[in-house]
Amino acid sequence: MSKFEETRWTNREFSRNYRDKANIYLPFRREFIGTAKSLYGYFFDAKSENNVLDLGCGDGLFIEELLKTFSPTSITLIDGSNEMLEAAQKRLGKKENINFIQANFQSLFSGQLLNQTFDFVYSSLAIHHLPSEDKKRLYSYIYELLSPGGCFAHYDVVAPVSTKIENWFLSLWRQWIKEHPDKEMSENLVGIPDQYKKNTDNMPDTLGSQLQALTQIGFKEVDCFLKHGIFSLFGGFK
C-alpha cells in the first residue's frame, strides 16, 4: 500500500489551505454533499438504528451537514491527518455518539480499529489518493464493514475516459472557478485544476472501472448518483 505519511495531507499549511478554499474551487460541492445526504435520509432515516462512518473526513463538513437534519445512532470519523481531525472535532464538538479516529486507510486492514458494522459509509475526495489495487482492497473492506442493506456513498474525482474528454473536463473546472464572484480569489485558484493533474498524489481511476470493481465485490444497485466533469458521487448497497 502507498504511504499516507508521504502525502501532502500531513503538511499543516496544505491541509489548512484546503479547508479555507475548497468551497470556492470544488464545483457543485454543496450539491454533491446534498445528494449524499439525501441518499442517507431516503434509505436510512426511518430505521431505528443507524451507524455512520466517514472515511477521510477532513474537517467534518459532511457530518455537520448530516447532523443538521438527521440523528444517526453513532458516527465514526477517520482521517490520517491529525490537523484535519482536530478541525473536525472543533466543528462538531464533543458528543458521546461521535468517535474520531486518527488512522490512515492502509492501517485499517489490520482489523483492530473498527469492531462494529455500519449502515452508511461515506467518503469524499480522499480515496483517489490510493492506487487502483489499494482502492479495490478498501472497497472490499468497506463491503465487509457494511450491515446487510447498508450503503457506500463515494464522492470523489475520477479519471476521464480519454485525453480529449479530460481536456474538456479540466476546462469546465477552470470555468467554474473563474465564475466565482471574488475575482481576486478566483484568479489565485484558477491554476488548481492543472496542479491537480500534475500532482502524483492524485491517482484517480475511471468511474467505469470503479463501478465494475464494486459490482465484482458484491455491491448491488451500483450506480453513479451525480456527476460533473471529473467529480462523481457513486456507490452501491450491500
Ligand X SMILES: C[S@@+](CC[C@H](N)C(=O)[O-])C[C@H]1O[C@@H](n2cnc3c(N)ncnc32)[C@H](O)[C@@H]1O
Q: Which residues bind ligand X (CB under 6 A)?
A: 4, 7, 9, 18, 22, 56-58, 61, 79-81, 84, 104-105, 124-126, 129
44 within 8 A of 151, measured Cβ to Cβ: yes
Cell of 51: 451507524
> The C-alpha cell of 142 is what?
468497506
Place of cell 500531513: 10
CA distances from 99 to 20, 78, 146, 168, 199 (A): 24, 8, 17, 41, 32
DSSP string for residues in 138-187: HHHHHHHHEEEEEEEEEEEE-B-SSHHHHHHHHHHHHHHHHTSS-HHHHH
Minimum Å distance from CB 1 to ligand X? 8
Q: How far is the CB of 149 from ligand X (least distance, A)?
A: 24
Considering the complex, state which of residue 25 and residue 44 has its C-beta at the smaller distance from ligand X.
25
Q: Taking the complex as a whole, how short is the minimal distance between the CB of residue 157 and ligand X, in angstroms?
A: 9
Structure-block grid coordinates of residue 1:
500500500
Q: Closer CB to ligand X, residue 129 or residue 238?
A: 129
Decide whether 203 or 218 has the Cβ nearer to ligand X.
203
Nearer Cβ to ligand X (14/215)? 14
| Closest-CA residue to 61 (of 39, 41, 32, 40) | 32
- CB 32 → ligand X: shortest distance, Å? 9
CB closer to ligand X out of 9 and 44: 9
- Beta bridge partners, 237, equal 151, 220
Q: How far is the CB of 48 from ligand X (least distance, A)?
A: 28
Q: Which is nearer to ligand X, 57 or 211 (CB)?
A: 57
Q: Which three cell numbers stand for residue 145?
A: 464493514
Task: Give least dist CB 95 to ligand X, A.
Answer: 19
Query: Residue 37 Cβ, how far from ligand X at the closest point, in Å?
Result: 13
Sheet with strand 118-124: strands edge to edge: 98-102, 74-79, 51-55, 118-124, 146-157, 231-237, 220-228
Q: Where are the alpha helices (DSSP H) in 4-156?
A: 12-25, 29-44, 61-69, 82-92, 105-108, 132-145
Give residue number: closest CB to ligand X. 58
Pick the closer one to ligand X by CB: 7 or 206. 7
